[in-house]
Amino acid sequence: MQYQNSLEFAKAMDQQDPIAKIRDEFSIPKTADGKDEIYLCGNSLGLQPKLAAEYVKRELTQWAEQGVKGHFSGDFPWMPYHEFLAEGFSELVGAKKNEVVSMNTLTANLHFMMVSFYQPTDKRFKILIEDHAFPSDHYAVESQVKFHGYDPKDAMLLIKPREGEETIRKEDLIELIEKEGDSIALVMLPGVQYYTGQVFDMKAITYVAQNKGCMVGFDLAHAAGNIPMKLHDWNVDFACWCTYKYLNSGPGSVAGCFVHEKHHTNESLPRFAGWWGHDKMSRFKMENNFKPMESAEAWQLSNPPVLSLAAIRGSLDTIKNAGGINVLRDKAIKLSSYMRFLLETQLAGEVDILTPNNIDESGSQLSLAIKLNPNDSPELGKQIFDAIEQKGVIGDWRYPNVIRVAPVPLYNSFEDVYQFVRILTSEINSQRGVQ
Ligand SMILES: Cc1ncc(COP(=O)(O)O)c(C=O)c1O
C-alpha cells in the first residue's frame, strides 16, 4: 500500500473503509469547542458502545420492574447471564464456549488461576515472567511464590530485552525456557506487552514450555479484542483478560478467563471454590457438597455483577456487528501501518517507535519514545504530551518518555491518525523552534 501524508488521502481511506460506520455506534468524547476528540487511548480505556449503554439501561429497567424475578424473566435472565457472553469471548480468544467465562477482575483471576496452575515442587518451583511486567502481574506472582514459601529472588525468573533493546527477542525467550524449563512450574507472559505493544508468539511459547513440562498462562489485557488468537488450538493452559481496553466495557468492568478444556475434569487441581462454580443443576439445593461444573465456569466464585456483564454484552455485539476480530484486525493493520508511515516520514529523528515493525509482533498500539537531546529538559516529552492533549489528542503517557497511542479499528479513522501525527509534528517542531 502506497500511503500519503495528506488529509485527502486519509479521507479517501475512510471512504473505502468497509467498517467506517461502526464509529457511529460509539459515544466519542468532545473537546471544549465541541469537536470529536482524537481518541487514541483504547489500549487503556475503550470508548462506550451505544449498545453497552442500552443493555445496561435494559437491566436497570428489568430490576426496577421485576425485582428478584429478573433472575429468571425476560430475554436475558440474570441467572445464566454470563452464558450470553461465552460465544463472543470464545471467538475473540479462539476458544470453545465452555473454555471461557466472565468473572472477577484481571488481577484477581491471575491469582485464582495460579492457585490451580502454580503447583511448585522442590525441583520445579519458578515462575517465568518479564522483568518489565505490568506491576500488578509482578505483585501477583511475587505474592504467590511467597505464599508457597519461596523467596522471589529464587522463584521469579525474569526475562528482559538485551542491553540497549526495548523488546524481548523470541529466540532469547525460547532459549531461556529450553535452558531453565526443568525448574519452571509456570510461564506467565503477556499476549501483548503493555509498554511496548509487542505481540508475543503465544503458540511457540506454549509449545516449547509445555515440552519442558511447564504450565503456560497468558495475561491478555492488551491482546483481547486487539489481535486474533487460538488459545484452544495452541493448547494454552489458562489466560485472563480485562474488558475495559479493546473490549470497551467500561472502567473496572468484569474480566474474562480461559481454562483449557483438558483441565475441566481434573479433580486433582486445587481451586478456591465458590457457589457459582458448583454444578448449576444442584446449586440451589444448598447441600455444601462442592461439585465443580465441567467447564471454565467451575472457577467462578460469586454470582456476577449483571450491570457490568450487560456492558460487555453490548460491546461484544458491537464487535460482532463490525464483522468480528479478523475484520477488525485487517483495519487495525492498515491504521497502525499508516501511523507508522506518517511518523517515519514526518518525525524521523524525533520519535522512536518501540513497537516492533512487523505485523506478527505488533497490534493496534504504537509506543512512541520522544527522543531527548542532551540539553532538553527531562520533562520535554511530558510537555509535548500535555500540549497535544490540549489540542484534543488523547493518548497515554508512561514515564520516562513514552506516549502510547492505539488507533482502534472500531472507532478510529484514518483521519484521526493523520490529525494526530500532524498535531504531534507541529508541537515537536514548535518545542524545537522549527517553523
Ligand atoms: C497487562 C495488565 N495486567 C494487569 C492489569 C491490572 O488489571 P486490573 O486492575 O483489572 O486487575 C492491567 C491494567 O491495565 C494490565 O494492563
Expressed in angstroms and rounded, the spacing between residue 415 Cα and the centre of ligand 1 is: 30
Query: Atom 7, ligand 1: which residue's CA is nearest?
Result: 106
Identify the pLDDT of residue 435.
57
Identify the pLDDT of residue 373.
87
The pocket around ligand 1, CB under 6 angstroms, is made up of 105-107, 134, 136-137, 190, 194, 219, 221-222, 242
Residue 13 parent element (H or E): helix 7-16
SS3 of residue 238 by DSSP: strand
Positive or negative, the CA dihedral 102, 53, 84, 69 is positive
Expressed in angstroms and rounded, the spacing between residue 16 Cα and the centre of ligand 1 is: 35
Q: Which three cell numbers stand for residue 77?
A: 435472565
Q: What is the pLDDT along the chain (435 residues), one digit of tens a residue?
A: 899 999 999 999 999 999 999 999 999 999 999 999 999 999 999 999 999 999 999 999 999 999 999 999 999 999 999 999 999 999 999 999 999 999 999 999 999 999 999 999 999 999 999 999 999 999 999 999 999 999 999 999 999 999 999 999 999 999 999 999 999 999 999 999 999 999 999 999 999 999 999 999 999 999 999 999 999 999 999 999 999 999 999 999 999 999 999 999 998 999 999 999 999 999 999 899 999 999 999 999 999 999 999 999 999 999 999 999 999 999 999 999 999 999 999 999 999 999 999 999 999 999 999 998 888 888 999 999 999 999 999 999 998 899 999 999 999 999 999 999 999 999 999 888 775
Identify the pLDDT of residue 432.
80
Of ligand 1's listed atoms, the one at least distance from the Cα of 107 is 11
- Which residue type does 106 have? L
Expressed in angstroms and rounded, the spacing between residue 106 Cα and the centre of ligand 1 is: 6
Of ligand 1's listed atoms, the one at least distance from the Cα of 109 is 11
Identify the pLDDT of residue 354.
97
Expressed in angstroms and rounded, the spacing between residue 256 Cα and the centre of ligand 1 is: 12
Distance CA 362, CA 227 (A): 9
